[in-house]
Chains A and B, each alone.
Chain A
Amino acid sequence: MTSSKPILLLVLLFLTLCATIVLATGMGFLEIAPLEVIKILWSQATDQTTGGMDPTFPFVVMEVRLPRILTAALVGGGLAVAGAVFQAILLNPLADPYTLGISSGAAFGASLAIVLSLFGIYVPAWLSIPVFAFLGAMATLIGVFSLAAPDNRLSSNTLILSGVIVAAILSAGIGFIKYLADEQVSVIIFWLMGSFVGRTWSDVLLTTAVILPGLLFILYFARDLNIMALGERTADTLGVETARVKKMLLLCASLITAICVSVSGIIGFIGLIIPHLLRLILGPDNRMLLPACFLGGAILLLGADTITRAWLPSEIPIGVLTSLIGGPFFCYIFRKKQLALSS
Chain B
Amino acid sequence: MNRNATLFQLSDVSFSYRQTRVLAEIDLQLCSGRFYGLLGANGSGKSTLIELLMGGHKALTGEVLYKNKSIESYSRQELAKQLALVPQHFAMNFEYQVSDVVLMGRHPHIPRFSSPAKNDLQAVEEAMQIMDISHLQSRPVSALSGGELQRVVMARALAQGTEVLILDEATSSLDIHHTIAIMQVMRKRVETKGLTVIAAIHDLNLAAAFCDECLVLKEGRLFDHGPVAEIFTSDLLHTAFAVEATVHHHENNGRPQIQFRYQ
Is B truly associated with A? yes
Instruction: Pick from A6-14, A69-77, A277-285 the stretch touching chain B.
Output: A277-285
Asked if B94 and A233 make an inter-chain contact with CB atoms under 8 angstroms apart, the answer reads: no
**A241–B75 Cα gap in the complex (Å)?**
10
Known pairs A227-B104, A229-B94; A237 contacts B83 (CB<8 A) = yes
Minimum distance in angstroms from A92 CB to a CB of chain B? 6
- Name B103's closest neighbour in chain A (CB-CB): A1
B201 within 8 A of A: no
Residue on B with the closest CB to A2? B115
Q: Which of B68-113 contact A (CB under 8 A)?
A: 75-77, 79-81, 83-85, 87, 90-97, 99-101, 103-105, 107-108, 112
Nearest opposing residue in chain A for B56, CB measure: A236
Task: Tell me, rounded to whole Å, the shortest Cβ–Cβ distance linking B164 to chain A.
Answer: 11
Q: With A237-B85, A238-B80 as given contacts, are A283 and B96 in contact (CB-CB < 8 Å)?
A: yes
Interface residues on A, range: 20 to 34
- Decide: A231 and B90 in contact? CB cutoff 8 A: yes
CA distance A2 to B115 in the complex (A): 8
Q: Which of B54, B76, B87, B160 contacts A241 (CB 8 A)?
A: B76
Complex Cα–Cα for A223 and B109 (A):
13
Tell whether A321 is near chain B: CB-to-CB under 8 Å: no
Residue of B with least CB distance to A341: B142
- A230→B92 contact, CB < 8 A: yes
**Binary B-proximity of A218-260 (CB < 8 A = 1, otherwise 0):** 0010010011011101101111110000000000000000000
B76 touches A285 (CB 8 A): no
Return chain A residues, CB-CB under 8 Å to B96.
226, 229, 283-285
Cβ of A230: which chain B residues have Cβ within 8 Å of it? 90, 92, 101, 104, 156
Given A1-B103, A238-B80, A231 and B95 touching (CB < 8 A)? no
Q: A223-B112, A238-B108, A241-B76 are in contact. Are A91 and B87 (CB under 8 A)?
A: no
A231 to chain B, nearest CB (A): 7
CB <8 Å contact, B84 and A229: no
Main secondary structure of the interface of A (DSSP, over half): loop
Which residues of chain B are near A229, meaning CB under 8 Å? 92-94, 96
Which residues of chain B are within 8 angstroms of A88 by Cβ–Cβ distance? Answer: 94
The answer to whether A233 touches B85, judged by C-beta atoms less than 8 angstroms apart, is yes
A-contacting residues, B38-62, CB 8 Å: 54, 56
**In the assembled complex, which residues on chain A have CB atoms less than 8 Å from the CB atom of B112?**
220, 223
Report A-chain residues with C-beta under 8 Å of the C-beta of B56: 233, 236-237
User: Does A173 sit at the interface, judged by CB under 8 A?
Assistant: no
B76 near A240 (CB under 8 angstroms)? yes
Q: Mark A257-293, 1 if CB is under 8 A from B, else 0.
A: 0000000000000000000000100011100000000
User: What are 16 A-B pairs at a CB distance below 8 A?
Assistant: A1-B103, A227-B107, A229-B92, A230-B90, A230-B92, A231-B87, A231-B92, A233-B87, A236-B56, A237-B56, A237-B80, A237-B84, A239-B79, A279-B94, A279-B95, A284-B94
Task: Give the interface of B toward A (CB within 8 A).
Answer: 54, 56, 75-77, 79-81, 83-85, 87, 90-97, 99-101, 103-105, 107-108, 112, 115-116, 156, 160
Cβ-closest 7 pairs across A and B: A239-B80, A284-B94, A239-B77, A239-B108, A237-B85, A238-B107, A239-B76
